[in-house]
C-alpha cells in the first residue's frame, strides 16, 4: 500500500515540477530581450524597417504559404474548442490547416477579422503565424467531395512550434512600450477576447536560428463593440459607434474597452503609448489598408468604412501628442 502511495506521490511531484517549470517559463522575465546563438531570442515586436514595402495582401509569410483556393482539402477532424465552427484539413501537398469558419447564423464572423488584424499587426512589427482567408473551399470527407463555406486558414507550419500560452500580466515584456502599444491597437480595434489562452509562444526555427515569438492569436473578436454579453464582431455600425479614448486620469488614459479585460489597460497606458501605436499605424499606406481588408475577403465599400474609422482613431491618438505639446 505504502509503495503505491509513494509511487503516486512521485508521479504527482514530477507532474507538479513539470508544471512549475512551465509556469516559471511564463513568469521569469529575462532582463531584456536577448539574441544569442546559445539561447533563443525572445521577441514580441521588431521595428518594421521596411514597413512601406510590406505586402498586406499576402502577409508576412507570403503567397508561398497561402492555401490554394482550387485545391481539394481532405478532412482530418472537427474543431473541438472555442465558439466558432471549424475543422482541420490537409491539402494536396500534405500541409495541415486549421480552418475557422463563420457562425452558423452568418452573424459576426470572426474569420475575416482575424486575417485583417493579423495583417495589420504583422505589418507594424508584431509576429504572426501564417493566416489566410478563403471564401469557400473544396472538401473531401468520408462522404465525398463538396464545396464548404470558407474561413480563416491557419497553416501548421513546420518551422513554427506552438510552445503554449503566455500571460498579459506576466511576460518578458510586461512593462515595455511594444506590449502597451499592442494593447492600444487591440483596444482601438475593440478586441473583446483578450484572454491569456489566446496568446501563444511560438518557437520559430529558420536559417539555423531559433526565436521565441510572443504572439497574439485568435484575434478575430474585434471590429465591433465591446458589450459584456454577446459583443458584436465584424460589424461596422457597432464599430463606428464605439468610442476609443474616454479620458485621462492620473497620467493614464481610460478606454471604452471590454469590461472583462478593462484591467489590462487600466492605469497602464499613457499618452506616449497611444501616440507610439498610432504613429506606427499611420505609416501604413492606403494601398496597404485596402490590401489588409482584401486579404480578409472584405468588399471595398465595407473595407473603406472600417478603414475610415480606424484612421479617425489613429488621428485621435496622434492628437494626444499635439495636445501634450500645446500644454
Partner 1 sequence: MRQRYLIRCVAAGIFVFLATWGNAVHAQETPATHGLIREPDFIERAVIFADRRQGNGEFTNGFYPDLFNMIPGAGWISAGPGYRQWYAKDRAFVDTSMAVSWRGYKLIQGRVELPTIARSRIALGAHYRWQDFTQIGFYGTGPESLEANHSEYGLRSQNLIGYAALRPFEALSIGAQIGWLSPSVRPRGGWFEGNTADTRTVFPANPVYAVPDQGTFVQREVSVTADTRDFPRHATSGGLYRAAVADYDDSEGVFSFRRYEAEAAHFMPVAGSRVVIAVRGWLVGSDTSAGQSVPFYLQPSLGGDNSLRSYADFRFHDRNMLVFNAEGRIALMAHIDAAVFLDAGNVAPRVSDLNLDKRSYGAGLRLHTRQQTFGRVDIARGDEGWRLLFRLGDPLALSRLSRRALLAPFVP
Give least dist CB 100 to partner 1, A. Answer: 10
Q: Which is nearer to partner 1, 88 or 273 (CB)?
A: 88
| Inter-CA distances, 51 with 44, 88, 197, 281, Å | 17, 32, 29, 10
Q: Which is nearer to partner 1, 62 or 82 (CB)?
A: 82
Question: Does residue 275 come out as left (phi exceeding 0), alpha (psi in the -120 to 50 range) or beta?
Answer: alpha
Q: Which is nearer to partner 1, 299 or 325 (CB)?
A: 299
Give least dist CB 182 to partner 1, A. Answer: 23
Beta bridge partners of 225: none
Give least dist CB 52 to partner 1, A. Answer: 34
Q: Which is nearer to partner 1, 202 or 298 (CB)?
A: 298
Look-up of cell digits 474616454? 246
Give least dist CB 293 to partner 1, A. Answer: 19
Give least dist CB 215 to partner 1, A. Answer: 23
What is the DSSP-derived secondary structure letter of residue 45?
B
Q: Provide DSSP, 116-182.
A: HHHHHHHHTTB----EEEEEEEEEEETTEEEEEEEEEEEE--TTEEEEEE--SSSSTTTT-HHHHHH
Look-up of cell digits 464599430? 239
Q: Provide DSSP, 173-234.
A: TTT-HHHHHHHHHHHHTT-----GGGEEEEEEEETTEEEEEEEE----S-SS---SSS---S
- C-alpha cell recorded at residue 60: 508576412
Q: What residues make contact with partner 1 under the rule CB under 8 A? A: 76-86, 103-108, 142-143, 225-232, 235, 237-238, 240-243, 256, 259
- C-alpha cell recorded at residue 278: 498610432
Q: Which is nearer to partner 1, 54 or 232 (CB)?
A: 232
Q: Which is nearer to partner 1, 51 or 85 (CB)?
A: 85
Give least dist CB 82 to partner 1, A. Answer: 6
Give least dist CB 247 to partner 1, A. Answer: 16
- Cβ burial, residue 172 (10 Å; 0-12/13-18/19+): buried
Number of residues in the chain: 327
Give least dist CB 246 to partner 1, A. Answer: 11
H or E, element range at 206: strand 199-206
Q: Which is nearer to partner 1, 29 or 149 (CB)?
A: 149
Q: Which is nearer to partner 1, 109 or 171 (CB)?
A: 109
Amino acid at each position: 500500500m505504502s509503495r503505491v502511495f509513494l509511487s503516486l506521490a512521485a508521479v504527482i511531484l514530477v507532474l507538479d515540477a513539470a508544471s512549475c517549470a512551465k509556469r516559471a517559463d511564463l513568469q521569469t522575465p529575462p532582463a531584456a530581450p536577448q539574441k544569442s546563438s546559445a539561447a533563443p531570442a525572445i521577441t514580441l515586436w521588431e521595428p518594421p524597417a521596411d514597413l512601406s514595402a510590406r505586402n498586406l495582401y499576402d502577409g508576412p509569410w507570403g503567397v508561398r504559404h497561402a492555401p490554394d483556393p482550387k485545391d481539394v482539402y481532405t478532412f482530418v477532424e472537427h474543431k473541438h474548442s472555442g465558439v466558432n465552427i471549424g475543422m482541420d484539413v490537409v491539402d494536396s501537398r500534405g500541409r495541415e490547416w486549421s480552418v475557422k469558419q463563420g457562425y452558423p447564423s452568418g452573424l459576426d464572423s470572426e474569420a475575416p477579422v482575424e486575417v485583417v488584424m493579423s495583417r495589420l499587426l504583422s505589418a507594424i512589427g508584431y509576429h504572426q503565424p501564417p493566416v489566410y482567408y478563403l471564401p469557400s473551399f473544396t472538401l473531401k470527407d468520408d462522404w465525398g467531395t463538396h464545396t464548404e463555406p470558407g474561413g480563416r486558414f491557419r497553416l501548421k507550419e513546420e518551422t513554427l512550434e506552438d510552445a503554449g500560452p503566455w500571460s498579459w500580466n506576466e511576460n518578458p515584456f510586461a512593462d515595455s512600450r511594444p506590449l502597451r502599444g499592442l494593447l492600444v491597437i487591440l483596444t482601438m480595434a475593440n478586441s473583446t477576447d483578450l484572454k491569456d489562452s489566446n496568446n501563444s509562444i511560438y518557437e520559430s526555427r529558420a536559417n539555423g536560428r531559433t526565436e521565441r515569438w510572443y504572439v497574439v492569436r485568435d484575434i478575430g473578436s474585434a471590429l465591433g463593440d465591446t458589450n459584456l454579453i454577446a459583443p458584436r464582431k465584424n460589424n461596422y455600425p457597432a464599430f463606428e459607434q464605439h468610442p476609443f479614448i474616454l479620458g485621462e486620469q492620473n497620467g493614464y488614459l481610460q478606454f471604452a474597452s471590454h469590461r472583462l479585460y478593462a484591467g489590462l489597460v487600466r492605469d497602464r497606458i499613457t499618452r506616449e503609448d497611444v501616440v507610439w501605436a498610432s504613429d506606427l499605424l499611420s505609416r501604413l499606406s492606403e494601398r496597404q489598408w485596402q490590401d489588409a481588408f482584401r486579404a480578409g475577403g472584405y468588399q471595398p465599400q465595407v473595407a473603406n468604412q472600417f478603414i475610415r474609422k480606424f484612421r479617425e482613431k489613429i488621428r485621435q491618438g496622434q492628437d494626444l501628442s499635439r495636445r501634450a505639446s500645446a500644454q
